């Protein structure tokens, strides 16, 4: 994307970037990179675009961080937040309720499949995952299976940073500095069909194989010790692995057979990222719990939720039992009000339908990139795609650590940003570029993404 004069807002001064360098501790960031470098400062957004403090415009190809579903600059959501803050800025959900949390809980229960009717609010996704593991443990203690406490999740999956959620996370590099973590979290293969070690020529057989690894792990650990399986509908980390057809149906059967709870971690995938409010609906399975956050408010205020089935709630409804767990800001009135207004926008503007109508075009546009020698695979669903970069397309040979470091961190992230596309170059699994634009995007934005990726990935090849 080129910068045109109307794209330029007031140029900022570098003082802000300097203060950021000196005082802001950025998340998952090598701070040394900024000791002599300029911290990018994003100052405003409008629709699918954002602007930095130098007045440069970028296409927000990652919806912030898989968050800004409705796009930037929605004053309507800001006004709802201001109104709620004037009326009741804060009250906790500790033994009391407030109207917007009640309304939002009812709405989410209506939208969730099956008997998933009980909403426990948090402030974000990691807390929702943490809550789901804790509630699973207590549920089994209350129902006479006190040994059931372990969890199973997939290699390379990211489920958040609290120490329980981090245990569930399957990225060793994200965990090693914080070991020992919560014990009892076991890993199974993910659904990376591009790098399938078994059934690489038969997607459904691969899906059966991958699901069966979950049963194998349950049996190995002992079903009487396993409480829950945590899976994302489309696994983010590693670069958008969709579930093979039949995968979740088989996982559901396995969980039922061993009385293990199925948690659908939809922190990224819910709220339209795949074209449905809850992603489990797209793939036709009903979990026991859904964890969600991010897109619920399109980022206009933070909130998350663990949504549980009636069956899980049941033992908590008797006697002196309580779930001794909570967050001061969980279900914050301002965030709840903003979430309601955001869901109104979804309904009014048909954002889910926009994704369903355009997901084929998005895929087709990104698939054009497969003519580049560096593009090994394009995969994903809805508005959520990963583009895997390879050294050799024919053999699928990937980059070694040094090459990956030079390519992704040394060149790609910066070059994409400088070319006007904010997206993610990630090497938590094999090297990928991820795109997940706001749900208001259409063909013109897909083309812009494709053209920017094409020119930068072409140049990247010369850095290999």
Ligand X SMILES: Cc1ncc(COP(=O)(O)O)c(C=O)c1O
> In the complex, which residues of this chain contact ligand X (CB under 6 A)?
124-126, 129, 158-160, 232, 236, 265, 267-268, 293, 304
Say if residue 259 is preceded by a cis peptide, omega within 30 of 0.
no
Measured from the CB atom, the residue of 165 and 211 that comes closer to ligand X is: 165
Look up tokens 């059934």; give the residue: 199
The DSSP bridge pattern shows strands 421-422 and 57-60 to be parallel
Minimum CB–partner distance for residue 122 and ligand X (Å):
8
Q: What is the C-alpha end-to-end distance of the chain, expressed in Å?
A: 23
**280 within 8 A of 233, measured Cβ to Cβ:** yes
Minimum CB–partner distance for residue 167 and ligand X (Å):
13
Minimum CB–partner distance for residue 293 and ligand X (Å):
5
Minimum CB–partner distance for residue 2 and ligand X (Å):
32
Measured from the CB atom, the residue of 27 and 348 that comes closer to ligand X is: 27
Say how far apart CA 131 and CA 421 lie, in whole Å.
35
Say how far apart CA 81 and CA 258 lie, in whole Å.
45
Measured from the CB atom, the residue of 376 and 438 that comes closer to ligand X is: 438
Say how far apart CA 273 and CA 441 lie, in whole Å.
12
Minimum CB–partner distance for residue 230 and ligand X (Å):
9
The DSSP bridge pattern shows strands 384-389 and 375-381 to be antiparallel
Say how far apart CA 307 and CA 112 lie, in whole Å.
8
Instruction: Give the residue among 59, 51, 71, 69 at the shortest CA–CA distance from 445.
Output: 59
The DSSP bridge pattern shows strands 421-422 and 261-265 to be unpaired
DSSP letter string over 314-352?
GGGGSTT-------TTTT-HHHHHHHHHHHHHHHHHTHH
Measured from the CB atom, the residue of 129 and 408 that comes closer to ligand X is: 129
Say how far apart CA 203 and CA 200 lie, in whole Å.
7
Measured from the CB atom, the residue of 51 and 248 that comes closer to ligand X is: 248
Measured from the CB atom, the residue of 160 and 438 that comes closer to ligand X is: 160
Measured from the CB atom, the residue of 307 and 374 that comes closer to ligand X is: 307
Name, in order, each residue with C-beta under 8 angstroms of 32's C-beta and a sequence gap of 6 or more.
none
Measured from the CB atom, the residue of 112 and 456 that comes closer to ligand X is: 112
What is the number of the residue whose Cβ is closest to ligand X?
A: 125
Minimum CB–partner distance for residue 158 and ligand X (Å):
5
Minimum CB–partner distance for residue 325 and ligand X (Å):
16
Name, in order, each residue with C-beta under 8 angstroms of 456's C-beta and a sequence gap of 6 or more.
412, 415, 416, 419, 421
Minimum CB–partner distance for residue 162 and ligand X (Å):
8
Measured from the CB atom, the residue of 59 and 132 that comes closer to ligand X is: 132
Say how far apart CA 203 and CA 193 lie, in whole Å.
7
Minimum CB–partner distance for residue 357 and ligand X (Å):
25
Tokens of 355: 């994704």
Instruction: Give the residue among 206, 293, 294 at the shortest CA–CA distance from 243.
Output: 206
């Amino acid at each position: 994307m080129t910068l045109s004069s109307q794209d330029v807002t007031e140029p900022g001064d570098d003082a802000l970037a300097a203060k950021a360098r000196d005082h802001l501790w950025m998340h998952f960031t090598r701070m040394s990179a900024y000791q002599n470098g300029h911290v990018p400062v994003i100052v405003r957004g409008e629709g699918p675009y954002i602007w930095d403090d130098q007045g440069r415009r970028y296409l927000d190809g990652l919806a912030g961080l898989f968050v800004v579903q409705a796009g930037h600059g929605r004053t309507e959501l800001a006004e709802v937040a201001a109104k709620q803050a004037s009326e009741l800025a804060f009250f906790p959900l500790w033994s009391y309720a407030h109207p917007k949390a009640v309304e939002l809980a009812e709405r989410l229960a209506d939208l969730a499949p099956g008997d998933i009717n009980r909403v426990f609010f948090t402030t974000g996704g990691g807390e929702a995952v943490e809550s789901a593991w804790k509630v699973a443990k207590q549920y089994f203690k209350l129902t006479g299976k006190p040994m059931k406490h372990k969890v199973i999740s997939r290699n390379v999956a990211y489920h958040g940073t609290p120490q329980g959620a981090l245990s569930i996370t399957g990225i060793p590099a994200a965990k090693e500095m914080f070991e020992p973590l919560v014990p009892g979290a076991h890993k199974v293969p993910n659904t990376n069909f591009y790098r399938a070690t078994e059934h690489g020529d038969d997607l459904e057989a691969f899906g059966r194989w991958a699901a069966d690894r979950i049963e194998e792990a349950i049996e190995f650990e002992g079903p009487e010790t396993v409480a829950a399986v945590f899976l994302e509908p489309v696994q983010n980390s590693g670069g958008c692995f969709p579930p093979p057809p039949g995968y979740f149906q088989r996982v559901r059967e396995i969980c039922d057979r061993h009385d293990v709870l199925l948690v659908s971690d939809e922190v990224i995938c819910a709220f339209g990222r795949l074209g449905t409010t809850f992603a489990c609906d797209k793939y036709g399975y009903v979990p026991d719990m859904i964890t969600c956050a991010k897109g619920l408010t399109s980022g206009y205020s933070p909130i998350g939720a663990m949504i549980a089935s009636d069956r899980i709630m049941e033992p908590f409804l008797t006697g002196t039992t309580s779930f001794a767990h909570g967050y001061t800001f969980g279900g914050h009135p301002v965030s709840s009000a903003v979430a309601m207004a955001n869901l109104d926008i979804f309904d009014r503007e048909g954002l889910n339908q926009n994704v369903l109508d355009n997901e084929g075009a998005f895929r087709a546009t990104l698939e054009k990139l497969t003519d580049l020698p560096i593009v090994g695979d394009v995969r994903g669903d809805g508005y959520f795609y990963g583009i895997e970069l390879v050294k050799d397309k024919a053999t699928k040979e990937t980059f070694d650590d040094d090459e990956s470091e030079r390519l992704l961190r040394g060149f790609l992230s910066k070059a994409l940003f400088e070319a006007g596309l904010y997206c993610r170059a990630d090497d938590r699994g094999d090297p990928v570029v991820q795109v997940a634009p706001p749900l208001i995007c259409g063909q013109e934005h897909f083309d812009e993404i494709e053209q920017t990726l094409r020119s930068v990935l072409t140049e990247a090849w010369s850095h290999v």
